[in-house]
Structure 1
Amino acid sequence: MSTTAGVSAGEVAVRSILIMADGERSDFDELIHPRAVNREGENEPPECRVGGPAGFYATALWMRTAFEGLAYDIHHVIADGNLVAVNSTMSGRHVAPFVVYTPGGDVDTAFPPTGKTFAVTQSHWFRIEDGKVAEHWANRDDLGQAQQLGWVPPTPAYLFRMARAKSRAKRAA
């Protein structure tokens, strides 16, 4: 396992996941490479797509706004040189609209808050460069999360709330 300044690539990857729940901007500056790319950012708000610490921090704020008590439990970490895979469970409670975007940056869908909790498995993949996260990919159980939060299958009343939430999100964008 490669190390930089005594910190292993696996430790950098794990810390970069954990700060998504409660890290400060300075934590992102410390752990995320200035040219880092989040390969999962295509459906995130435009401010999350800039890469580097600013983009990763914007992603954290986007997630924290929608999901109160956001937390990650780390189950397994495997590192091979500068590549790291982390198996985890993400959990939280849906308390604010969760808005996803088109690749062009327009509002695609808005999920109004349900107040429900969720816990879903995720696998995160990282490339570490100079002791910092340079690239991130993820495989998430989005369907499981949608089912736990009541997004799928949607009730007619929830579809109406989604349409209203999307309209509001478009106006706010």
Structure 2
Amino acid sequence: MAGFQLRVATEEDVPAIRELIDASVRRLQAEDYSPAQIEASLRTVFTIDSRIIADGTYFVAFSEDGTLAGCGGWSRRKTLYGGDHQVEKSEPEFLDPSVDAAKVRAIFVHPSFARKGLGSRILAAAEEAAVQAGFLRFEMGSTLTGVELYTLKGYREVDRVMVPVGDGEQIEVVRMVKDASL
């Protein structure tokens, strides 16, 4: 994994992150969600969450040639998933690290870099940063596509919910949790 460099995302990264999310969702989630679900999701749930970028808890990962290869992070806010344009109301309130779980958020890998350990590296960076901020547990709203990876990384499924994404469509999201000690 020495070939990827991670850093905290900035507002200047937003256009490239949008392109990466679009490519990732269209190619890597096509087996788990219908074309209509994907199109609606790309306008609502799978959009940039400007709060986690402003909070400095979102990472971008670049390949050796400078290509944006992946992104993802964590949040100290209550919102579990989604972006600035999600259908459901976001919850911008801050969490209490002594009782709440940090929210692992929006990990996407460009299809050209899939299955090379980059998602795991971004997840590890997010978990490490959350622990440094005092969190003892993690929680996420995983797409169906990510469940296998997150299970391998010690997360366990808590429940599944149908999330409205617009145009009368919904997607299944899996709420998963993990203790920081695992």
Structure-2-length-normalised TM-score: 0.32
Higher-Rg member (1/2): 1
The structure carrying a bigger strand percent of its residues is: 1
The structure carrying a bigger helix percent of its residues is: 1
